[in-house]
Amino acid sequence: MDRAPTVPSTVRWRGIATLTALLALLGGYLSVTPGAASAAEEGLLSYGKPAVASTDQSDVNCFECTPDKAFDLDPASRWATSSTTGWVDPGWIYVDLGATATVNQVVLQWDPAYAAAYQIQVSPDATTWTTIYSTTTGRGFKETINATGTGRYVRMYGTARSGPYGYSLYEFKVYGTGGNPTAPPAQPADPTFPATELVWSDEFNGAAGSKPDPAKWTIDPGTGQNNEVQYYTNNNNANMDGNGSLVIEARRETAGGRDYTSHRMNTGGKFTVQYGRVEARVKVPKGNGLWPAFWMMGADFLTGRPWPYNGEIDIMEVLGRNTFEGYSTLHAPAYNGGGGYGQKYPAPGGVDLADDFHVWAAEWDSRGITFKLDGQTVFVASKETVEATRGPWIFDHPFYIILNLAVGGDFPGPVDGTTPFPSRMLVDYVRVYQ
């Protein structure tokens, strides 16, 4: 859900993409089989190493897309050839491994501007190059190349672009032995599901009329995106009901230049999480134009990284015009807005989600995210599949939690004379397990 881009506001766009599949065996040394890269993970030689390219881009379309971005293990950053001088053949990028190495694998995660024909080359001096792999049938997305060679420098040498643009890589990973590798930052261990250790929660058990706990929640006033019509007040539209639930209320009233008010809050600056089971028990409202949501944003948004480069995980969205179905979606640089990677699904058992509380959950680890509703899997986002068919997976870092009730906008449509006001989204609890 789009949110005003002021810290600690949150930004989000809507839309569900049709899931596609593009897993292909490309022949020769090339494969996109699961486990190939992970088996070589201990031999990553290229992280943080100096890089040189034929050209690079820095403009409004790709800011500071310099060669080092392909080797920083940040899947949301990328290298691209210059938009003024680099949309030509050949185009290339190489990395200095710091010492002679035996290379046994190269992994390329392409931007849509990929090489249809290219070579992987090694060199002792960045002058004389030996080709250890060559293809004229590059497919883009993630390509895992099992090829062996010896050298200090490793180069992707593109000879035919896939389209009118240049060459661009989110990731260029080199695996093998030797070199002078820099250890990448440690990642948290994957939880074992079902995760049972409660690491954070809010049970909303306060007295009737009390406000969300300021030690856990940051209130996020302002307007939304996507042509939403509400103004989020500074905590006026949220309170405990005294029966164990938080009430988020949308009202027909004037504030902030809008004719409707509602509430939005997040755990930014107070709690973040990477991996685990994130769940909430929620009763959604019914009515045209109502848009309740339970979701997460990459925490680096709060330190200046713009959406969608920080990543967005929509655990639950329900549109008030049809409360018999829900949505779960991921947003990233290569798949966002109307092209977000997600799923619309019917409520288990065909129930009306507005009639009672239901539990939405995301079980998240380094291999992907499984979305569940009342214990039933409704969507699985596999990291391997996303990388092979849509683009980089950017969800291996801390995120914070958001609750809100939007009114109107491009996704839910407008309110009308049948929309009840006030309308209430009730949250029984939010819990995080690892």
Residue 253 annotated to the active site = no
Residue 128's alpha-carbon distances to 70, 121, 123, 296, in angstroms, are 22, 10, 6, 48
Count other C-beta atoms under 10 Å from residue 61's C-beta.
10
Residue 343, C-beta contacts closer than 8 angstroms, at least 6 positions apart: 16, 19, 327, 328, 329, 371, 378, 379
- Which candidate, 247, 350, 249, 330, places its Cα nearest to that of 290? 249
How far apart CA 302 and CA 45 sit, in angstroms, is: 31
User: What phi-psi label fits residue 263: left (phi over 0), alpha (psi between -120 and 50 degrees) or beta?
Assistant: beta
The one catalytic residue among 312, 363, 384, 387: 312
- Give me the phi and psi of 87, to 5 degrees please: -90, 60
3-class secondary-structure state, position 383:
helix
How far apart CA 310 and CA 297 sit, in angstroms, is: 7
First-to-final CA distance of the chain: 26
CA dihedral 417, 317, 390, 273 (to 10 degrees): 150
Alpha-carbon radius of gyration of the chain: 24
How far apart CA 78 and CA 160 sit, in angstroms, is: 19
Structure tokens at 294: 């339970």
- Which candidate, 149, 242, 158, 185, places its Cα nearest to that of 48? 185
How far apart CA 293 and CA 317 sit, in angstroms, is: 5
Residue 312 annotated to the active site = yes
- Give me the phi and psi of 69, to 5 degrees please: -65, -20
The one catalytic residue among 143, 171, 228, 317: 317
Q: C-alpha 34: how far from its chain's center?
A: 20
Give the active site residues. 312, 317
